[in-house]
Amino acid sequence: MNSSNLTLSPQEDSPFSIGAVTQITGITETTLRVWERRYHFPHTSRTSGGRRQYSQQAVLQLQWVKMHMDEGVRAGRAIRARSLTDRETAVATTLHELLLPLRTPDPTLVTLPPVLLDALLAFDSAKAAMILNEAITKHPLENIVLDVIGPALSAIGEFWSNGEVEVATEHFATNFLRHQLLVWMRTSPPPYRVNPIILACAPEELHEGSLLMLGVLLRQLRWPVLYLGQSLPLLDLSALVDRVMPSLIVFVAMSEIAALALADWPLWLIQQTEMPLPIIGYGGRAFVENTALADLVPGVLLGTTIYEGYQRIHRVMLNLAVLQP
């Protein structure tokens, strides 16, 4: 699948302050100033009071450099590599490279999923909201999503599958967590002005918990997300791509039936414009439980965990945005 042209709007968002850039990239203000003097990177403008202002493109370039520094590349080499790296090759490599399991669950959050689950099984939405609101003041949202919401959703599903809770209880608990994820997605930082990522469940797939979690994590990284939710008909793909021109379309399939239905997407995605077709990626429990399914579904398996999937998407989006075509 060809990689999409990811275009930046000529009307970028308001400039970022150096403090905002540090918060987004994890690069200290001192380092940013040193790089500007030593490498003339990134380009900055100044306010009337002499304060640095960073464009969206500069912030994305800094994130790209930091990503490679985290892999062991020296700063000067990473900065120079921006103008030398072929985008198509970088995107293709990122889609298929093995990502190291750099993340371990937050041990301080291990007790929260069962406490949250007890509140939900008791239909106590006020207590469940209090638990999450208190946790979010002490921990990064990424940790709350991956180490609290994820385990709670899995436990609820297992309880229902084993007949330990009735349908009404499962619906209440799942819908509470679904609503919370939607709120976090909608209240995330303003997105970059780039072609969006479409998130959808495969045809016949109604379980959207992991897709919602992915949407929250991507929005926290400021990537624009067009969230479509449950069971997207493949016949809608061509018109959707023509109107939205997404960078990626990401499908989730939890059941084997949904994964097999997804295999027919090339029959429906017809190129109607001069824009390259978007990258098609997928993931979900179906591909973890039956690895052979990935051989039947065209596109790219984005990972076997939500963390791996959203990290891979982040890297692809940076490569599309920063590197020259």
Residue 179 has pLDDT above 90, yes or no: yes
Taking only the tens place, the pLDDT of each residue in 277-322 is 899 999 999 999 999 999 999 999 999 999 999 999 999 999 999 9
Q: Domain spanning 107-186: which superfamily?
A: Methionine synthase domain (1.10.1240.10)
Tell me which of 269 and 256 has the higher pLDDT: 256
Confidence of residue 83 (pLDDT cuts 50, 70, 90): confident
Residue 268 is classified by DSSP as: H
Pull the structure tokens for residue 96: 């298929």
Tell me which of 102 and 230 has the higher pLDDT: 230
Within the chain, all domains assigned CATH 1.10.1660.10 are found at 16-84
pLDDT of residue 98: 80
Going from the C-alpha of 287 to that of each of 68, 115, 238, 255, 305, the distances in angstroms are: 29, 30, 25, 9, 10
> Beta strands 45-46 and 52-54: pairing type?
antiparallel
Taking only the tens place, the pLDDT of each residue in 195-211 is 999 999 999 999 999 99
Q: Which fold has domain 16-84?
A: Multidrug-efflux Transporter Regulator; Chain: A; Domain 2 (1.10.1660)
Mean pLDDT, the chain, integer: 91
Least confident of 11-15, 125-129, 175-179: 11-15
pLDDT of residue 10: 40
Average pLDDT value for residue range 233-242: 90
User: If you average pLDDT over each of 95-104, 155-164, 182-191, which comes out highest?
Assistant: 182-191
Question: In three state form, how does the secondary structure of 198-252 look?
Answer: EEEECCCCCCCHHHHHHHHHHHHCCCCEEEEECCCCHHHHHHHHHHHCCCEEEEE
pLDDT of residue 275: 67
pLDDT of residue 8: 47
Confidence of residue 99 (pLDDT cuts 50, 70, 90): confident
Residue 3 has pLDDT above 80, yes or no: no
Least confident of 94-108, 210-224, 235-249, 311-325: 94-108
Residue 11 has pLDDT above 70, yes or no: no
Residue 203, amino acid: P
Stated pTM of the model: 0.91
Rounded to 5°, angle at Cα 237 from 290 and 252: 30
pLDDT of residue 23: 94
Rounded to 5°, angle at Cα 47 from 46 and 52: 45
Rounded to 5°, angle at Cα 91 from 87 and 97: 140
Cβ contact 194:247 at 8 Å: yes
Taking only the tens place, the pLDDT of each residue in 48-77 is 888 999 999 999 999 999 999 998 999 999
Residue 134 has pLDDT above 60, yes or no: yes
Rounded CA-CA distance 123/325 in Å is 53
Residue 148 is classified by DSSP as: I
Residue 13 has pLDDT above 70, yes or no: no
Within the chain, all domains assigned CATH 1.10.1240.10 are found at 107-186
Residue 2 has pLDDT above 80, yes or no: no
Tell me which of 274 and 199 has the higher pLDDT: 199
Residue 274 has pLDDT above 70, yes or no: no
Average pLDDT value for residue range 31-38: 95
Cβ contact 202:232 at 8 Å: yes
